[in-house]
Amino acid sequence: MIDKTLVPLLAIKGLAKRYPGVVALKGVDLTANAGEVHALVGANGAGKSTLMNLLAGAQAPSEGEICIEGQVVRFDGPASAQDRGIATVYQEFSLVPQLSVARSIFLGREPKSAFGFVDTRRLAERTRALLERFNLKLDPDAEVATLSVADQQLVEIGRALSFDARILILDEPTAVLSFAEQDNLFAVIRQLKSEGMLVLYVSHHLREVLAIADRVTVLRDGEKIATRDTAGLTVDDLVSLMLGRSGAYAKTTGHQPDSADGSLFDITYRTAGPESRLALRGGEIVGLAGLVGAGRTTFARALSGNALSSASVDIGHEGRTLHFSSPREAMGHGVVYITEDRKRDGIFAELDIVANATASALPSLGLGPLRNSRKEQAVSSNILQRLHLVASSLSAPIVKLSGGNQQKVLIGRALLTKPTILVCDEPTRGVDIGAKAEIHEILRGLARSGVAVLVVSSEIEELLALAHRIVVMHERRFVAEMPAHEAEESQILIAASSGSKSMEKNDEA
């Protein structure tokens, strides 16, 4: 008899995955126990996704083995991994929006009644039992489309749990969540942990990893660098393991914009409730913080001429008041927005890199109505080189690029229009840590050249490192403002969640 407590729930031995021409994973060993939250971190291309796919049965390893409770298992597809108790919640959900929560959780395995109809009563019972057991606060009858992203994620987790999984893989689970939702998710994860599940937590967000995980495994270039207990570990430690060098974010230091120097943009934001004002200055990076739902993106869109009907922005500049009714018009006045969702409304997936980079600037590149492809090529190659784009060829479709490089192309597109105000909504979302630092450097360079940069980010750390000044939004209004070098993460959080203007008071309280 083997003592079960001595056999790790999951043991990976010498796992390798080779693609033609690329070795994605080079013999990784890893063990993880039941009742553990085990994080996987690494820069993009480090092999996290490959490892995850191998465990989820989405791909087969070239070498090595996966053992569950000491038994070697082989998967011939995601379904067989699920049968072995490994469930995966991917960053991109695969829910059918029209179905109810209960139907979504048991999709394809609905309890059937005598004539093959779905037994709705048993379905409801089983759903309720599952939700209660794991303390998931969801209405079983609610339609998925009506749920918040956070609740949709809980539906995905519920679906994973309904397979009686013992190993749950979460891929970047907090990418779409606000702080409060993140707390809720962490509570769910702790609940799962206490039920004896192994949670594999794949994330870019090192701070979260340290907060939730018991142990963390760092991958770099397909190799396992280390597995550490998170107790006593710092973000800087992790970053230096991931990169082989230290320092998470280079700070914007030394350079403080001269307020008399840059031209001033006096922004009035009108939406439901009282109007709110904000000043932007050429040469300055302003970080806009706030919870998800605080209205940051709505404001950023309105500022750049893409307003929802309920919101509007006036920009006072050199005695004139500007109001834009389309992104095109805003661009004409030098106000450019870089989207938070590249795939949905940023890139043209099938078009090549040059076409993507020059999309906004074509009128200045052609001869009358005709295009001048040589000039387009030259101009985009010039700007993209300055942005350190890594691509095999500029005529490759943009979808072939990594997230960070796609983002650089979109930044290039914005720069080719010669902006005076650049609005970046989550500029480093889904971007690996190396590219992140590069994008920060690009934005700093832009500010130095006199552009007013507004950065919207949910990562307070990023804003603190990048911005000169932090503005906090709460319920569609600007509620607090502070120089970044004096700001504390806690101050920002308090202002963002309470809307209180006087943070000193809150701090004392």
Partner 1 sequence: MAIARRSARLDLESSGIWLLLAVAVGAAAATIPVFRDPANLANVLRQSSVLGILAIGQTFVIAAGMIDLSVGMIAGLVVVLACWMLGNDPSLTLAVIALMLTLGASIGLVNGLVVNRLKLHPLILTFGMLSILQGGIFTFTDRSVGRASPMLQAAANDDIWGVPLSTILLVAVLAVFHLVFSRTRFGYHLIATGGNAESARRAGIDVKRIRLACFAISGFCAALAGLLLAGRLGTGYPLAGTGLELDAIVAVVLGGTSLAGGRGSVIRSVGGVVALTVISNVLNLLEVSAFVQMFIKGLIVVGAILANQPRREQP
The only residue of 393, 486, 504, 509 in contact with partner 1, by rule CB under 8 A: 393
Interaction between residue 339 and partner 1 (CB under 8 A):
yes
Q: How far is the CB of 329 from partner 1 (least distance, A)?
A: 9
Question: Which of these segments, 316-324, 350-358, 432-440, 455-463, binds partner 1 (CB under 8 A)?
Answer: 350-358
Q: Does 347 bind partner 1 (CB under 8 A)?
A: yes
Q: Give the residue, chosen from 264, 279, 322, 351, that forms a contact with partner 1 under the rule CB under 8 A.
A: 351
* Strand partners for 200: 38, 169
Report the residue number, 32 or 409, with the smaller CB distance to partner 1: 409
Using rule CB under 8 A, residue 58 touches partner 1? no
For partner 1, give the closer residue by CB, 326 or 502: 326
Between residues 53 and 174, which has the closer beta carbon with respect to partner 1? 53
Of the pair 70, 332, the CB lying nearest partner 1 is at 332
3-state secondary structure of 475: coil
**Number of C-beta neighbours around residue 52 at 10 A:** 19
Min dist. Cβ of residue 508 to partner 1 (A): 44
Q: Should residue 378 be labelled a site residue for partner 1 when binding is judged by CB under 8 A?
A: no
- Options 417, 428, 457, 458; binder of partner 1; rule CB under 8 A: 417
Binding range to partner 1, per CB under 8 A, among 88-96, 283-291, 339-347, 461-469: 339-347
**3-class DSSP string for 390-448:** CCCCCCCEHHHCCHHHHHHHHHHHHHHCCCCEEEEECCCCCCCHHHHHHHHHHHHHHHH
Quote the least distance from Cβ 309 to partner 1, whole Å.
14
Q: Among residues 261 and 341, whose Cβ is nearest to partner 1?
A: 341
Spatial separation of the C-alpha atoms in residues 318 and 174, rounded to whole Å: 42
CA distance 122 to 126: 6
Q: How far is the CB of 362 from partner 1 (least distance, A)?
A: 5
Q: Is 295 in the site for partner 1 (CB under 8 A)?
A: no
Q: In the structure encoding, which two tokens stand for residue 262, read together?
A: 């840059």
Nearest to 163 by CA among 55, 56, 83, 104: 83
Residue in 413, 429, 436, 468 binding partner 1, rule: CB under 8 A: 413
Closest separation in Å from C-beta 286 to partner 1? 21
Q: What element of type H or E holds 481?
A: strand 477-483
Classified as helix, coil or strand, 89 is strand
Sheet strands (E) in 192-319: 198-202, 215-220, 223-229, 264-270, 276-281, 285-290, 312-317
Residues whose CB is less than 8 angstroms from the CB of residue 140 and which lie 6 or more positions away in sequence, other chains included: 100, 101, 102, 124, 127, 128, 131
Q: Which listed range, 184-192, 222-230, 340-348, 435-443, lies at the site for partner 1 (CB under 8 A)?
A: 340-348
Binds partner 1 (CB under 8 A): choice among 369, 374, 486, 508:
369
Q: Give the whole-angstrom CA distance, residue 247 versus residue 63.
A: 35
d(CA 452, CA 468): 11
* Orientation of helix 149-161 relative to helix 179-194, angle to 10°: 10
Which range touches partner 1 (CB under 8 A), out of 84-92, 138-146, 317-325, 351-359? 351-359
Applying CB under 8 A, which of residues 348, 418, 483, 488 lies at the interface with partner 1? 348
Token readout for 362 is 């074509």
Straight-line distance from the first to the last Cα atom of the chain, in angstroms, rounded to the nearest whole number: 58
Q: Which residue, 319, 287, 322, is CA-closest to 305?
A: 322
Is 355 a binder of partner 1 (CB under 8 A)? yes
Helix (H) or strand (E) holding 404: helix 403-416
Query: Could you say whether residue 316 binds partner 1 (CB under 8 A)?
Result: no
Assigned token pair, 145:
């489309």
Residue 75 region by backbone torsions, left for phi larger than 0, else alpha for psi between -120 and 50, else beta = beta
Q: Which of 298, 306, 380, 457 binds partner 1 (CB under 8 A)?
A: 306
When binding is defined by CB under 8 A, the residue of 145, 362, 378, 390 that contacts partner 1 is 362
**Which residues contact partner 1 (rule: CB under 8 A)?**
21, 306, 326-328, 331-332, 337, 339, 344-351, 355, 359-360, 362-363, 366, 369-371, 392-393, 413, 417
